[in-house]
Structure 1
Amino acid sequence: MLTAKVKFYNINRCGYYKYSSKVPDLSNTSDVLLKLNDWASDGREFINTGTYKAEKDEDILNTYFCGLATDKRYGDHLLTLWAEVPNDSGVVYGMPPLAKPGKVDMLTTGFDIDKAIPGFPCYFWFIPQLNVFASIKFDHSLMGKGHLDNYLNGYLANKSPYRVFDEDNKVIGFSVDGKKTNDSSKLKPNFYAVGMKYDEVQAELISNLSKITKILKREKITYRAPDDRKIIERVFSGLLKNAPDSTQERTLLHEMEFKPTETELKSIIKSYNSLENTSSIRNVGFKYSDGRAIWLSGANVSFEIELNVRRKDNHIIPPGRLLSAIIKRRDELITKMKTPPTGG
């Protein structure tokens, strides 16, 4: 048995769309995944399963294809990707947890960059029937939503069989047979998904918009990070001659007067929902004029569950095995997806 954190997302776009259309004119979620599998499994090498080239200054690096499994009964899919992590020519750094601040030498785990791509697997359970997917996170994997966004958008734009080329081999549109039509240049590739919310939380905030007087934010900070150190020093400024020196993470609560518009409120909720696990932000909330606080963490459709699946050390869970374990608890998972937890 492995403990998994499951976080659900609504699929708003997956395919090829005409301007402002919400309905795809070409392809759909299952079609995209199955054709992706055909392309990535055609005998090419792992390094050639990337669909985009990450910029050096981006936090999300390259992403690669590990496998896809499909359940014939429900039409669900389990997609496994490999998310490259930051490294210095194959070297991944670490700091001794008991070292004192100011220590500059780092521990290293090295790879031959010609033999290994440093990273972690990401598992995604797609339910086309409901137009949703879930990130399935274990201790050895990442949520990887940003990697999935980049990967599928890269596939749709750069690798799919629907591309239409001009004489210079440049993509000029998309069509069902890859041939130019009157509409081929009007179709745009798009995969867009947003975190699923328990409607009650967002609806409550919107209906009580006039009562919101403050915004709240909890974040993790550490004295080891220069920017965080300045925050800690400012907190104790005028109270202690020197701020407490600690290597442990601390939680900081920000509270500021704020009366958002509905547009601002929705934007904050959307931004919070798109945060990666690596973000220092742990929670965001709003305080009403009566002093009551509503936190957005209660809005995310996210929970932990035990899955009857095993993993060998230093192995990715095979997509078929993981999908089989999920399907056995499919009804329970979907019920939990639709049912807000008691107490918010």
Structure 2
Amino acid sequence: MLQSGYINFFEVNKCGLYRLFNETPKALELEETIAKLKDWKEGRNFEATNPWDPKRNRNKTPCFCHEIHHNENTGDFLLVLWKGDSDRHGPLYGITINPDGSTEKAIKQTQTNSKKPMVWGRPSYYWVIPELNIIASIKFENSRCDSAMFQDWVTGCINLRVDLPDHKKTLTEKGFTRIQMPDGDADQYRYSFQFDLSMKSLSTSSAEMTELTKRVTHIIRRETVTIKNVDKRKGFAKFFQRFEVPYISAENQSTRRVELKIEAKPTVEEIKQIITQYASDHEAGTWEDVGFSVDNTTKTVWASKYRLTENISVEDHGEPILTAERLYATILGNRDKYLDPIRKDLELDSIKQAAAHA
């Protein structure tokens, strides 16, 4: 059976060891970081790949590493993480933990009768492309995408679990990890590991983005708001209860879809920021969205149009969870198709930066 999903691309803004106020990493850039995670994962039992002590971090969502696949020809990595989750997001899957720490194949919660310990959750798929300093999340119906969790997991593993024989780790009084060069190295500054992603959208140098800027007259924002309880999210949604709206009842439906339209003339940089912020907070295909009215008409151009996304279909062979190798084989067959728009966009950015420094 084919599983259909979509790919969202993220820029790696930071990955490595950084000194305070310094934007250039000393070591542990993207390829080296993921390679160290792969080496650390091999031979380690499944439950030991959650970087946080569950007893001390009860409020932190557990995240485990199921697989890391590396393609030596392209340099790409494919990670399958396992996000602890609740059943309110759909059917849960369980991974059986054997006494030796090994795992069996994942099965649906409704199909299990095993008495062995289970770790419940859903898979999360991440494609790492060091060549372009890009990471892609891959979302299917039965998987989860959480870029914040991914960033936390990578940072937590490097800071708390992964051995760094070429460096030495120390803990500050407040519990922060600081990393130094080994004794005898002239550089004895203390560094912190940082890993930061942001959604990849079209470059501000692109003709499409420039043309959109000339035509925008209003910004449109859609949200789903509650009419029963106070909405604690940021933005206008939390003020919705202050308005008396006729013909609605909290008895038959606790949420309402709200659309706000504001007159505005954003710059191209502001439009890119709006698109990036929307993309990081919302999933594609939902009511919640951000868009732009153009030419003083009713026509709306939605921000999702300017996100660099791709569709993907993978044969699952009847298994609910895709293996890293099988998923990457599908990606590899379409790799240039997926990456050429990003290469083109990065080239535009490079030309723009060169012109600015000419």
Paired residue type of 2:127: W
* In structure 2, distance between residues paired with 1:113 and 1:185: 51
The answer to whether structure 1 residue 26 and structure 2 residue 27 are counterparts is yes
Deviation at 1:230, TM superposition (A): 9.7
Paired residue type of 2:187: D
* In structure 2, distance between residues paired with 1:270 and 1:167: 34
Counterparts of 1:219-238 in structure 2 under 5 Å? 219-220=223-224, 226-227=229-230, 237-238=245-246
* In structure 2, distance between residues paired with 1:129 and 1:209: 31
- Which structure 2 residue ranges, 5 or more long, are not aligned? 91-108, 232-236, 346-358
User: 1:21 and 1:233, CA in 2 relative to 1: closer, same or farther beyond 3 A?
Assistant: closer
Secondary structure of residue in 1 paired with 2:283: coil
Query: Alignment partner for residue 286 of structure 1, among 283, 288, 292?
Result: 292
* In structure 2, distance between residues paired with 1:237 and 1:167: 54
2:220, 2:291 within 8 Å by CA — same for their partners in 1? yes
1:220, 1:280 within 8 Å by CA — same for their partners in 2? no
Equivalent residue number for residue 201 of structure 2: 197
2:230, 2:241 within 8 Å by CA — same for their partners in 1? no
Query: Alignment partner for residue 325 of structure 2, among 303, 308, 320?
Result: 320
2:180, 2:190 within 8 Å by CA — same for their partners in 1? no
Deviations 1:289-333 (A, max 9, x none): 7346443111211131223x324334x211112112211211122
Paired residue type of 2:143: S
User: 1:237 and 1:171, CA in 2 relative to 1: closer, same or farther beyond 3 A?
Assistant: closer
Deviation at 1:118, TM superposition (A): 2.3
1:201, 1:299 within 8 Å by CA — same for their partners in 2? no
Equivalent residue number for residue 135 of structure 2: 133
2:217, 2:294 within 8 Å by CA — same for their partners in 1? yes
Secondary structure of residue in 2 paired with 1:2: strand
Equivalent residue number for residue 105 of structure 1: none
User: 1:204 and 1:330, CA in 2 relative to 1: closer, same or farther beyond 3 A?
Assistant: closer
Equivalent residue number for residue 99 of structure 2: none
Query: Alignment partner for residue 306 of structure 1, among 297, 309, 313?
Result: 313
Deviation at 1:208, TM superposition (A): 7.4
Give the length in aligned residue pairs.
314
* In structure 2, distance between residues paired with 1:136 and 1:208: 28
Deviation at 1:235, TM superposition (A): 7.6
* In structure 2, distance between residues paired with 1:268 and 1:146: 18
Paired residue type of 2:191: L
The answer to whether structure 1 residue 148 and structure 2 residue 154 are counterparts is no
Deviation at 1:126, TM superposition (A): 1.0
Deviation at 1:48, TM superposition (A): 1.5
Deviation at 1:222, TM superposition (A): 7.0
Paired residue type of 1:199: S
Equivalent residue number for residue 334 of structure 1: 339
Paired residue type of 1:132: I
* In structure 1, distance between residues paired with 2:69 and 2:39: 12
* In structure 1, distance between residues paired with 2:29 and 2:133: 10
Deviations 1:160-196 (A, max 9, x none): 33352459998763246x5474535432201111111
TM-score by length of 1: 0.73
TM-score by length of 2: 0.70
Secondary structure of residue in 1 paired with 2:25: coil
User: 1:144 and 1:201, CA in 2 relative to 1: closer, same or farther beyond 3 A?
Assistant: farther
Percent identity (aligned): 22
* In structure 1, distance between residues paired with 2:36 and 2:241: 54
* In structure 1, distance between residues paired with 2:124 and 2:280: 16
Q: Which region of structure 1 is more displaced relative to structure 2, 295-304 or 210-219?
A: 210-219
Secondary structure of residue in 2 paired with 1:192: strand
* In structure 2, distance between residues paired with 1:220 and 1:137: 22
2:11, 2:135 within 8 Å by CA — same for their partners in 1? yes
Deviation at 1:134, TM superposition (A): 0.9
* In structure 2, distance between residues paired with 1:189 and 1:282: 34
* In structure 2, distance between residues paired with 1:23 and 1:311: 45
Counterparts of 1:80-99 in structure 2 under 5 Å? 80-86=80-86, 92=87
Deviation at 1:335, TM superposition (A): 2.9
Deviations 1:187-236 (A, max 9, x none): 2201111111022698866787697654311234577x645899998887
Paired residue type of 1:118: W
Equivalent residue number for residue 68 of structure 2: 68
Paired residue type of 2:150: L
* In structure 1, distance between residues paired with 2:117 and 2:17: 36
Equivalent residue number for residue 304 of structure 2: 297
Equivalent residue number for residue 78 of structure 1: 78
Deviation at 1:273, TM superposition (A): 2.5
Secondary structure of residue in 2 paired with 1:6: strand
The answer to whether structure 1 residue 123 and structure 2 residue 130 are counterparts is no
User: 1:252 and 1:181, CA in 2 relative to 1: closer, same or farther beyond 3 A?
Assistant: same
Equivalent residue number for residue 35 of structure 1: 36
Deviation at 1:276, TM superposition (A): 4.8
Query: Alignment partner for residue 256 of structure 1, among 262, 270, 283?
Result: 262
* In structure 1, distance between residues paired with 2:153 and 2:115: 21
- Which structure 1 residue ranges, 5 or more long, are not aligned? 87-91, 96-107
